[in-house]
Structure 1
């Protein structure tokens, strides 16, 4: 009897994998949304659409690998968001799940990130070289009266540099809120991208996914909340803020974010763009 095999997913696997994930992993997510995970707009053409487990022609497991080539302070770098991981119950505990996990993170030139790993998964990937990216954030409520200085809101995306315009284009249609912001004493415009969802006790969270000016964010996070948040809070991962804090309310992230860096990438280089949560229109933990 043939053993199950782990292999890369191709274009012909999109429909059966989307059906598998819809039926057995999360029926609340429609198949057309699951398809985005295998057919995302950021994947370099030469890379796989995920990894799957196949047994005598039937797909019984899948792991999402969502690639993106991003501009960083170091130059272009390849990233991979590790997303949905599912294996039919009959195959669990056989070792094939471990093989699936390892297959999805074998590239030495890639920084791997996962934003939704359960605690048990975190323990497993720590053994594979991952470390915590962040497990704390600060939340900022708008002040009354608001004090936005020295920040100013600009109206023209053409003021952004080419890398920022590419990020904006890459996430078009995913429901993110974008803003072009500059410090009053600087000419350079920075792109800010927010993911706005109600969480917890019906509080509208503006999760900061990306800010193109790291110093502006670190020094003026509260002013940014005053500038951009009409209702709710601005939530910023701690790695983007001073180690002593930025004046917001500390809050644990329900599921730690993890990463395994490559080619000189550091935690500060890893934002919250280009990931499965955005493709599926879910809430970030």
Structure 2
């Protein structure tokens, strides 16, 4: 049976969400999938990825999340590769979805959650690996100076300014991002993390963004104490590339997460985890 590849438009979001709920992750309700597919930040998105259709029925999906970032004084356009799911009988057409996304000119591409044979496919297409060393730090009940650690949205908006405030406003309505602001005598740090849930249990906080690594380093213990007491999260997963340091106490995990990108000229240190499926999809 013939299969066609077409862009995912806003009108397609509900049926794409139903497909992903049924065939990729049923723990996420259809409405959660639908909310996750369309990011809340402003972006000139040509689509929300691509889908395979067979007789007008969705048989495969590859999500994409678009953003425009200021890097080195230039405006750079990004396309983050999201969930990729194709029904078994149509797997021979899977690569057509990836080819359609990568054929779009003028983008830097990131794939922040590749697994299995996707990693090898990306490597053959010229994707490079980011350092994804992963550490596990226990969240202990470290005390925090009064008012120096907050997850209150109102206080966060009052404390942040400039680009930090803009990034917070871009991400505050996403389904997966959680926000904390740390302050000390040296400055203010906006931290974005997600709660990863193995076996449906909120267990790990995974760092996504740290705006000021120096403040974060000084305030790491109060931050993890806040996660334990306020969010009931007993441990934090730390990528030193994101955090800017290797906290103590922590242990290195054998299985690091894979992070990959494809760009004609950007450096690995210019690639971060924001504006991606990591903040949009609470998988």
Structure 2 length as normaliser, TM-score?
A: 0.80
Q: State the partner residue of 1:279.
A: 280
Describe the superposition over 1:63-89 as per-residue Cα deviations: whole angstroms up to 9, x where unpaired: 100112234455543222211112222
Q: How far 1:54 sits from its partner (Å)?
A: 2.3
Q: How far 1:212 sits from its partner (Å)?
A: 0.8
1:120 paired with 2:148, answer no
Secondary structure, counterpart of 1:29 in structure 2: coil
Describe the superposition over 1:89-121 as per-residue Cα deviations: whole angstroms up to 9, x where unpaired: 22223xx22121121223443232223222211
Q: Note the 1:101-116 alignment, pairs <5 A.
A: 101-116=98-113
Q: How far 1:34 sits from its partner (Å)?
A: 2.0
Aligned residues: CA RMSD: 3.2
Describe the superposition over 1:230-259 as per-residue Cα deviations: whole angstroms up to 9, x where unpaired: 25223221323568x443321244542222
- Alpha carbons of 1:148 and 1:9: their partners in 2 closer, same or farther (altered >3 Å)? same
Identify unmatched segments of 5+ residues in structure 1: none
Q: State the partner residue of 2:237.
A: 235
Q: State the partner residue of 1:14.
A: 13
Describe the superposition over 1:186-233 as per-residue Cα deviations: whole angstroms up to 9, x where unpaired: 2x422112223444896832211111113444x447445456332522
Secondary structure, counterpart of 1:68 in structure 2: strand
User: Would you say the 8 A contact 2:195–2:203 is kept in 1?
Assistant: yes
User: Would you say the 8 A contact 1:177–1:194 is kept in 2?
Assistant: yes
Aligned mates of 1:61, 1:198 — CA distance in 2: 26
1:140 paired with 2:141, answer no
- Alpha carbons of 1:212 and 1:263: their partners in 2 closer, same or farther (altered >3 Å)? same
Identify unmatched segments of 5+ residues in structure 2: none
User: Would you say the 8 A contact 2:210–2:243 is kept in 1?
Assistant: no
Aligned mates of 1:148, 1:203 — CA distance in 2: 23
Aligned mates of 2:8, 2:164 — CA distance in 1: 31
Aligned mates of 2:77, 2:109 — CA distance in 1: 9
Using the TM superposition, name which of 8-17 and 227-236 deviates more. Answer: 227-236
Secondary structure, counterpart of 1:92 in structure 2: helix
Aligned mates of 2:43, 2:223 — CA distance in 1: 35
Q: State the partner residue of 1:249.
A: 251
Structure 1 length as normaliser, TM-score?
A: 0.79
Q: Note the 1:183-194 alignment, pairs <5 A.
A: 183-184=184-185, 186=186, 188-194=187-193
Aligned mates of 1:66, 1:87 — CA distance in 2: 18
Aligned mates of 1:108, 1:55 — CA distance in 2: 27
Describe the superposition over 1:155-194 as per-residue Cα deviations: whole angstroms up to 9, x where unpaired: 453332222112212222436432222342x2x4221122
259, 262, 268: which is aligned to 2:261? 259
User: Would you say the 8 A contact 1:135–1:255 is kept in 2?
Assistant: yes
1:211 paired with 2:213, answer no
Aligned mates of 2:104, 2:191 — CA distance in 1: 30
- Alpha carbons of 1:89 and 1:158: their partners in 2 closer, same or farther (altered >3 Å)? same
